[in-house]
Amino acid sequence: MSIGLLLLLIIVGSPVNADGPVCPPTPSNKLSRAHFPEGFLFGTATAAYQVEGAVNETCRGPSVWDIYCKKYPEKCNGDNGTQAVEFFYRYKEDVQLMKNLNTDAFRLSISWTRIFPRIIPFVTVFHWDTPQSLENEYGGFLSANIVKDFREYAEYVFQEYGGKVKHWITFNEPWVFAHAGYDVGKKAPGRCSPYAKERTVKGECLGGRSGYEAYLVSHNLLNAHAEAVEAFRQCEKCKGGKIGIAHSPAWFEPHDFKDAQNGATVDHIVGHRLPKFTTEQKAKLRNSADFVGINYYTSTFSNHMEKPNHAELRFKQDSLVEWKDKNINEVSIGSKPATAELAVYSRGFRKVLKYVKDKYANPEIIIMENGYGEKLGDNDTVAVGTADYNRETYLKRHLLSMYEAICEDKVNVTGYFVWSLLDNFEWQEGFKTRFGLYYIDFKNNLTRHEKVSGKYYREFLSQGVRPSAIKKDEL
């Protein structure tokens, strides 16, 4: 279980010095907010590019995703970026949805310029929408130039919002950004070597060099993170705030239970392809997170590989972990309903949390995303989409696993966000994969309909005591 968590090692700060979370005496009723420690935050999450629409309005410049989907609509499942030109997000209506759900917090990204009153905003500075102008000028995250530009951008948003927003995330899923955009080409900017192109990618790789570029990108991204954190800590009006990064570790179960997990270190295998940090960069990275954000969706089996294929280098392979859908007995992990995007394996959630606690000296953890995606295909109607019993089950199981991680394993988790408040633009899957607690009727004026899962979350949150800072009638 190393891949995806490698970056954590560098940036996690000193451990939280507590005896662990204090859980209320277990109430006998079914799992609800009342089971969780006092002050625990529950929310929903979205990201600007996925819900904002209005791509040509105001002074917004194009991002790599606009250009990517416009030029290669097949890479975005047929969506060419104009489907949501009408303003997708509706301020008043959607704050009302959050209020209806009894949530405390909302995770949004910063190109979204609205700040929500009396609901705690968690702002992500970068969620994959590199400005196309920087991509054209110097290759975006492939170049070290991004570091100073990102710092400047982060400084600007901290100055603008640092007084009101107290929870910040620099980067969303750096591993996915590097892997999907620069190793297998399935997300913008779609770069890869032809041999590494993922089966599902439509069209060709748009330039790139698998096994190399993802390292450069990760390196620049980490330096950009460290610079942004330094800027944050120097920002007067940001005092009292916290900053972290959101990772997306999968949990790996062994493909063959007789196999030991491998302990290979990446730098030994990657050699000269791994950019080196200077002493100054290392110093800035050390302790550069007040908390660790974790996005958890699924788990997989892993098989140990003896050595990488040197003729066909890939970022994902360098850890010598082969990702397997099935184990040696041809059994799949967890369960996978017919329309589900990913296997459901809530035990992996608890295990990954415990792993991070033990391996990285008990950091504060916030679950920045957890959710269930489904592709309904031709059956996609309001009635079918809102009857999302599978998503309800997914949430129940994962909330239970998180509860066990917190109250039995004493993992220091302090907040949880469901991905997502609304159905939205699911990157290369376009609008066809749905993740929302609210159904969006794309054919009827983007009307919102509460799903069974939304009702479940609302009722789960209506029990117990809300964090003292937020009173329900203030929302």
List residues near ligand NOJ by CB under 6 A: 47, 50, 172-173, 295, 369, 373, 419, 426, 435
In the complex with ligand NOJ, the residue whose CB is nearer, 176 or 384, is 176
359, containing H or E segment: helix 346-359
* Cα separation values, 345 from 110, 197, 340, 375, Å: 31, 27, 12, 18
Residue 137 phi/psi, 5° resolution?
A: -70, -50
Strands 413-419 and 41-45: parallel
Q: Which tokens go with 244? A: 């972290």
Rank residues 124 and 393 by Cβ distance to ligand NOJ and give the closer one: 124
How far apart CA 393 and CA 36 sit, in angstroms, is 19
Decide: 355 and 404 in contact? Cβ < 8 Å: no
Nearer to ligand NOJ (CB atom), residue 281 or residue 295: 295
Q: Could you tell me the smallest distance in angstroms from the CB atom of residue 49 to ligand NOJ?
A: 8
Active site residues: 173, 369
Toward ligand NOJ, which CB reaches closer, 212 or 457? 457
- Give the span between the Cα atoms of 342 and 169, in whole angstroms: 25
In eight-state DSSP terms, residue 377 is G
Q: Which is nearer to ligand NOJ, 172 or 223 (CB)?
A: 172
Q: Read off φ and ψ for residue 336, nearest 5 degrees.
A: -145, 95
Q: Can the peptide bond before residue 420 be classed as cis, meaning omega within 30 degrees of 0? A: yes
Minimum separation from the CB atom of position 447 to ligand NOJ (A): 21
Is the CB of 36 or the CB of 417 nearer to ligand NOJ? Answer: 417
Contacts 24+ apart (CB under 8 A), 302-307: 302/252, 302/253, 302/254, 302/255, 302/261, 303/254, 303/255, 303/256, 303/259, 304/259, 304/260, 304/261, 304/262
Environment class of residue 221 by beta-carbon count within 10 Å: exposed (0-12), middle (13-18) or buried (19+)?
buried
* Least distance in angstroms from the C-beta of 295 to ligand NOJ: 5
